[in-house]
Structure 1
Amino acid sequence: MDVSHAPSQLPARALPGLIQGLAGLAWALPLGMVVCVQTARQIGFWSLGPWPAVAVTGWLYLCTLRLPSSFNPGSSWDGSLRRSRSLALLLWGLSPFLYWHARLPDHPWFTLMTGITGVAGWWLLIEVNRFLPAAAASFEDPRLTHEVRGLCHVNRVIFVLGGLVWLMVRVLAQADSLPAPAERYGLLLLRLEAPLWMFFLVAPLALTLACLWKTREAAWRELLRRAGLQ
């Protein structure tokens, strides 16, 4: 059964940038994660130097710039968008250190910059899941709003828990001497690294991409409606 929705209050000039920004993020986020992780771990793109990571993080920053500002007064959009742009710019600036860390893994400065890059990327994913509910709510579609809000809330919780687990693993790995139970627990976490990555990063990232695409489709339908094509 078709359900009619109230027209969106978004200004028409905000729709093209919103569509382009959301579509760009849906591609740049997973590609950026793959390129940056492979560059830092010296798995792929080695012959191209730091440029793949620089290019994909620069694209990510441009996608955040395409998103319109101040189109939904009173929502969490503006603050989250400003933080997302700052974090994407920070990622762009720090991306060459991923390559140099792979070349000199024992250098403390490159290790520190790589760690900051990882934290910035993790925080950026949380901020994307903060502004997406505000974007979805602007289309006066209760089903879309409820779905995106629920998924983004779950994603933020998983990302935060994943950050805490990662911090615990790092602390256990750096400790010189540990009680036997803590040492066994740390070894278990290291053995479960791949499943933990899947649960705490890949799964919520996939849900984030689904929310980005659903919101982008809602913006596209609204643009077609205003153009008289739907």
Structure 2
Amino acid sequence: MSSPTPNPELMRALGRLVRGLTAIFWGLPAALIAGVHTGLKTRLDLRVFDAFLPPVTTGLLLYGVWLLAAFHPQENIWMRAVDRSRALALVLTGFSPFLYWHVLLPEVPAFSACVWFLAVFAVLFLFHFNHLLQRLVAMLPEEALRQETMTFTRLNQVVLAGLPLAVALSNMLPHLFHGGDSAARLARAWGQWGQAQEWLFLLFTLLPVATTMALVWKIKEAVLHSVFSARR
């Protein structure tokens, strides 16, 4: 006895879901690499294509999240999470060109402020996208995948929530100690750490990005498995 024909609308929605997850899987490391590649350059090292790398890679994230909206659009909680992720990805894409302009014209304060906003919205997007994955697996039948996703997304959110605190601490501590040799040495040590905030940001984002990529890949494989199982 042949299996019933799958719902065409559901299959199209699942196809867009898989394409969206694939775009996000590749967009996360691409956006991180493009940001580091452009941000660590000097004015003399810049090339024309460096201006396009951040907008293209963050635009890939926006495209991926946009495709996710086709899956279960009647679910209000899910769609609210998708809308917030789309808004964050849109802002992230809008701020991304300023990374190139900041390297080209570092003396302009507005460009420096925009780069800080870019970093803040990158953390916010990654934080909320982990929440989006929680909402996604809640609609999937695999209990083991749901439990694994809940565990690691919460871990990612804890790490990302600690990043602003670490950066703020590195900025504040040098100003809290005055006088005394030990206090001066501690202030200098924290000041040197404050000069390496870009590397601190990178280290605090590598773990969440890698974990999020692994979860996205597992969810995509689970969806593909369910599609092929339904066609048998």
Same fold (TM over 0.5): yes
Corresponding residue for residue 122 of structure 1: 123
Q: For residues 75 and 204 of structure 1, do their structure 2 counterparts lie closer, same or farther at Cα, with a shift above 3 Å needed?
A: farther
Q: Name the CA shift for 1:188/1:53 in 2 (closer, same or farther; >3 Å).
A: closer
| Corresponding residue of 1:6 | none
Q: SS at the partner of 1:138? A: coil
- Asked whether the 8 Å contact 2:31–2:57 carries over to 1, the reply is yes
| Structure 1 residue 12 corresponds to structure 2 residue 18 | no
On the 8 A contact 1:77/1:135 being kept in 2, the answer is yes
Q: Name the amino acid aligned to 2:222.
A: A
Q: CA offset at residue 115 of structure 1?
A: 0.7
Work out the CA distance in 1 between the residues paired with 2:231 and 2:91.
38
Amino acid at match of 1:31: A
Of all paired residues, the percent bearing the same amino acid is 27
Partner of 1:204: 208
The answer to whether the 8 A contact 2:13-2:71 is kept is no
Match in the other structure for 1:5 = none
SS in 2 for 1:151: helix
Amino acid paired to 1:224: F
Does residue 30 of the first structure (1) align with residue 35 of the second (2)? no
Distance 1:195 1:92, change over 3 A: closer
| RMSD after superposition | 2.8
Contact 1:101 1:110 in 2 (8 A): yes
Residue 223 of structure 2 corresponds to residue 223 of structure 1: no
Report how many aligned residue pairs link the two structures: 217
**In the superposition, relative to structure 1, how do residues 22 and 194 fare at CA in structure 2: closer, same or farther (>3 Å)?**
same
Is contact 2:42–2:104 with CA below 8 Å preserved after alignment?
no
Q: CA deviation at 1:49?
A: 4.0
Provide the rounded CA distance (Å) in 2 between the counterparts of 1:89 and 1:50: 18
In structure 2, relative to structure 1, the CA distance for the partners of 1:111 and 1:172 (3 Å cut) is farther
Shift of 1:74: 5.7
Structure 1 portions without partners, runs of 5+: 1-9
Decide whether the 8 Å contact of 1:98 with 1:110 is kept in 2.
yes
Please give the alpha-carbon distance, in whole angstroms, between the structure 1 residues aligned to 2:50 and 2:35: 12
Match of 2:113 in 1: 112
Structure label with greater radius of gyration: 2
Structure 2: which 5+ runs fail to align?
1-8
Residues 11 and 214 from structure 1, CA distance in 2 versus in 1: closer, same or farther, beyond 3 angstroms? same
Select the structure that is richer in helix. Answer: 2
Q: Following the alignment from structure 1 to structure 2, what is the Cα–Cα distance between the partners of residues 50 and 163?
A: 27
Q: Distance in 1 between matches of 2:196 and 2:111?
A: 26
Deviation at 1:76, TM superposition (A): 4.4
Preserved contact between residue 170 and residue 191 of structure 2 (Cα < 8 Å):
no
Give me the whole-angstrom Cα distance separating, in 2, the residues matched to 1:152 and 1:221: 22
